[in-house]
Structure 1
Amino acid sequence: MDEQEEKKQRKRQSSSILTTRSSQYGNHKSQSNSIPLDITFEILSRLPAKSIVRYRSVSKLWSFITTTREFIKTRSKKTSPPCVLLIFRKHDKLIVFSSPQRKNTYSYVEDYHIEIPKNGFIRRLDSVHGLICFEGSKQLVIWNPTVKRFFTLPEPQGTGDEYYVGGFLGYEPIEGKYKALCIVRGWNTQVLTLGVQESWRVVTKGGFVHWPTKDTGRCINGVIYYKAFDMVPRHAIISFDLRYEEFKLIEFPMRDYDRFLMVSYEGRLALISSTSSVVEIWSLEDEGNRKWSYGQFHLSLPPNKYLKWLDLKGVTDAGELIYTGMSLNGSFCVVYFDPKKNSIRETKFQGITGNEIWQPDRLGFDLVNDFYVLPNHIESFISF
């Protein structure tokens, strides 16, 4: 089937579904006398994210259209390029800044504030196909920054009197499913598929006793990776294949693993360390044979007043290393360094200072524990 025929078939399917639902809402006649449903679908899919979220309140039909799987798939093909989220936490609120990842900008970037649910708190943060997972006292909480909503997952089995539930969010691209992984008491590992009427399932393939560290995990090509230690005790990397729901253990290729940041680099798991002059990259070439490759690049950031305060925070999907300032004095900057091209670009966030919420000394702000940089974030209109 060629692209044009596939597009026509998709429109026919969408129109059929929407016509059925519009009849249920009793407004089919008014819709047919004004704008055809397939045209309404097409118009809504071309709107900016903020408009789509706002227009969901116009009518039940529009709300339904923008939450269907067909709309979400269509929208994902037209979605804007990935962005970088800068998230500052102050008490029970998140202050979120976003910036286009592939463009240079020196202007003020719009921010918004959102309140953290009472049963959720920040421990590890990563953007997984547009969604972000918070850990809670007994449950995991999923946050969709696009629609600015939180979704609390069911309580896993056997939590008992545990203080918190540790877990990770992943996305399986082949079947297009989000799955949450939960580790309770080290040996009770469970998985839950989001968006279906299922309960937590105990993982039976390759499971072993381990405790995740506080480091952020990474979901790469349908596999969740995270640092953990086992009964030896020994620190290692745990991989969890979301499609086959199977655990594997991967040993670190170096001894001083603590100074390495775990990231997705060129579509593979990588461990990156950056000093003032050298960038080291260990990349997992073959997970099955536990084969790592090593690369080293000289860091040649131009001299400026931010240089001594720059801290490595992540990597973009284009292979650029992301550095941020470790101080909020003056305008806040994000520096992108491409180690292969030996090129650098910078984004400045004007307006972060000047408000008392950005005065760390007065409010006890901690740039180590209260500041998060999430690269490669995309729009998502998923609702559960």
Structure 2
Amino acid sequence: MDKVGKKNPQCITWSKKRDQSEENDLFSSIPLELIIEILLKLPAKSVARLMFVSKHWSSIILDKDFTELYLTRSSTLPRLLLTVSVYHLKMQFLYSGALEDPYFDNHRVPPSTPDYWQFSPPVRGLICCLNATKMLIGNPSTGQFITLPRVKTRKCYIYIHSFFGYDPVNDLYKVLCMTTLNGPSRGTIGTEEHQVFTLGAQQEWRMIECKHRHRLDETQGICMNGVVYYLASFNDELSKSLISFNLSSEDFDVIHLPEDIKHRGPYSLVNYSGKIAITSYSCDGTLDLWVIKDASKQEWSKATLLVPCLTNFVGDQRFRFKGTFSTGELIFAPCTFPNPYFFIYYDLKGKKARKLVIEEIRDDLASFKLFLDHVESPMFLPKVCLSDDD
């Protein structure tokens, strides 16, 4: 999760020009510093509604400096984000809540046919959704979603992969998209076209160059410190490598995996205490992690964690390690969809495991994904101009 520096609300300045009707508005007499303090303590959904109080309040809420202040505060209270697809309703929902909060707020995702949306991990409160050639960027805190232009391609039959990230150098959100040929041969051909969409910029996809033709793995990518990481393999290799994409320079690099993990799959990419790590899907008494020490030097370290047998805690259930929460606790999610849904978080220091049941989720689930360290954001997404073809 990208960090943002703390700012003093008194150092932020907004234009104090108001029309005559607003001068007589009750809200216009409230000091700026007090307005900011009030807004910072409210849920992002409430902040979004208060944009309609007055033009003055709207200008404050829409200002980038206020968004950064809000993200700074909300990053100290990270939340879980859950994406849920329900069979019989043919709907998808986003649930978010604090680790200690039994209540999870939810928003319905705009419907999509014929398939469900696929979700990238959230970045600074925003999330990217993909279905075939359609893409959305959404703010789960406010319920706002915008549609992106269709991905450019020179091919007739393609399959699209996407990754979402934030470039802290240029303060930009970007979507990285790659196409592969759709059909029996797509698994051996590798990525064909690579392009980037910058939110709020040129409003179109830009083709970029990738010198490393690779086959994408099915695991999720992770954005950390302005770099997107994901697993992939090459045509002449059976084992996988880690690909890094710098969102500022828009360069790809290959990070080779340690020898002792290359043939141990399946495995997944996780955030382990603020570092990129690779682990096996399930855990049964011990958890092996390979952590990147220095990507530029291709340096890795191995950590083996002792955890209790979770089946003794919740019965006959297999789990996947999802990563560490900002508190340092390990998060484990069931491989299946129990009713009601639950997950386990384990405190390594206190050697205590706890079960969190999500009462709101009891329906027949088609798919379910859990994302850690989601933060609330009041950010209003800019409109994207679409062509008739979109």
Query: Shorter chain as normaliser: what TM range?
Result: 0.7 to 0.9
Structure 2 CA distance for aligned equivalents of residues 165 and 303 of structure 1: 37
- CA separation in 1, counterparts of 2:139 and 2:345? 26
Give the aligned partner of residue 248 of structure 1: 253
User: In structure 2, what is the Cα distance between the partners aligned to 1:126 and 1:287?
Assistant: 21
- With over 3 angstroms needed to count, the CA separation of the structure-2 counterparts of 1:4 and 1:377, relative to structure 1, is closer
Say if 2:80 is the partner of 1:69: no
Q: CA deviation at 1:379?
A: 0.8
What residue in structure 2 maps to residue 30 of structure 1? 25
Choose from 168, 172, 177 the match for 1:173.
168
User: 1:321-348 CA distances to partner (integer Å, 9 max, x unpaired)?
Assistant: 2112355555432211244653323322
Q: Does 1:262 align with 2:260?
A: no
Gaps of 5+ in 1: none
Q: Is the 8 Å Cα contact of residues 95 and 107 (structure 2) preserved in structure 1?
A: no
Partner of 1:197: 202
1:210 to 2:214 alignment? yes
* Matched residue, 1:82: 78
Structure 2: distance between partners of 1:339 and 1:36:
46
Compare 26-35 and 176-185 and name the one that shifted more.
Answer: 26-35
Secondary structure of 1:373's counterpart equals: strand
Match of 2:98 in 1: 100
CA distance in 1, matches of 2:283, 2:36: 50
Matches within 5 A, 1:303-322: 304=312, 306-315=314-323, 316-322=325-331
Instruction: List aligned pairs for 1:4-15, cutoff 5 A.
Output: 7-10=9-12, 13-14=13-14
Aligned pairs (5 A) from 1:220-369: 220-234=224-238, 235-253=240-258, 254-273=261-280, 274-301=282-309, 304=312, 306-315=314-323, 316-326=325-335, 329=338, 331-339=340-348, 342-353=351-362, 358=363, 360=364, 365-366=365-366
Q: CA deviation at 1:230?
A: 2.8
Partner of 1:157: 152
Q: Secondary structure at the match of 1:165?
A: strand
**TM-score normalised per structure 1:** 0.82
318-327 or 146-155: which moved more?
318-327
Whether the 8 Å CA contact 2:92–2:111 is kept in 1: the answer is no
In the alignment, is the contact (CA less than 8 A) between 2:27 and 2:54 conserved in 1? Answer: no
d(CA) in 1 for partners of 2:296, 2:225 = 15
1:55 to 50, 70, 74: 50
Q: What is the deviation of 1:182?
A: 1.1
- The yes-or-no answer on 1:379 pairing with 2:388 is no
**Which has the higher mean CA deviation after the structures are superposed, 374-383 or 327-336?**
327-336
Per-residue deviation, 1:5: 10
Q: 1:278 Cα shift? A: 1.3
CA RMSD, 1 decimal: 3.0
Q: Where does 1:102-141 land on structure 2 (aligned, <5 Å)?
A: 103=100, 107=102, 109-118=103-112, 121-141=116-136
- Alpha-carbon distance change, 325 to 7 in structure 1, aligned in 2, over 3 angstroms: closer
Distance 2:28 2:253 in 1: 58
Q: 1:159 to 1:31 in 2, by over 3 A?
A: farther
Give per-residue Cα distances to partners, 1:133-159, cap 9 Å, x unaligned: 112333431121011111222233325
Counterpart CA distance in 2 for 1:381 and 1:207 is 38
Partner Cα separation in structure 2 for residue 212 and residue 244 of structure 1 = 21
Structure 2 counterpart of 1:90, one-letter code: V
Deviation track 1:11-59 (CA, whole Å, cap 9, x = no partner) reads: xx12x2xx23x43x95244368643455434433332223213323444
CA distance in 2, matches of 1:82, 1:56: 24
CA distance, structure 2, for counterparts of residue 73 and residue 177 of structure 1: 13
State the distance in 2 between where 1:218 and 1:132 align.
Answer: 12
Q: Deviations over 1:234-276 (max 9, x none)?
A: 4322110112211001222212353222111122210122432
Q: CA deviation at 1:215?
A: 1.4
Q: Does structure 1 retain, via aligned residues, the 8 Å contact 2:61–2:67? A: yes
Q: What is the aligned partner in structure 1 of residue 178 from structure 2?
A: 183
Deviation at residue 301 of structure 1 after TM alignment: 4.2
C-alpha distance in 1, partners of 2:158/2:21? 49
- Structure-2 change in CA distance of 1:247 and 1:326 (3 Å): closer
Q: Comparing both chains, which one has the higher relative contact order based on Cα–Cα distances under 8 Å and sequence gaps of 6 or more?
A: 2
User: Is there any run of 5+ residues in structure 2 with no aligned partner, and where?
Assistant: 181-190, 383-390
Give the aligned residue type for 1:35: I
Alpha carbons of 1:29 and 1:229: their partners in 2 closer, same or farther (altered >3 Å)?
A: same
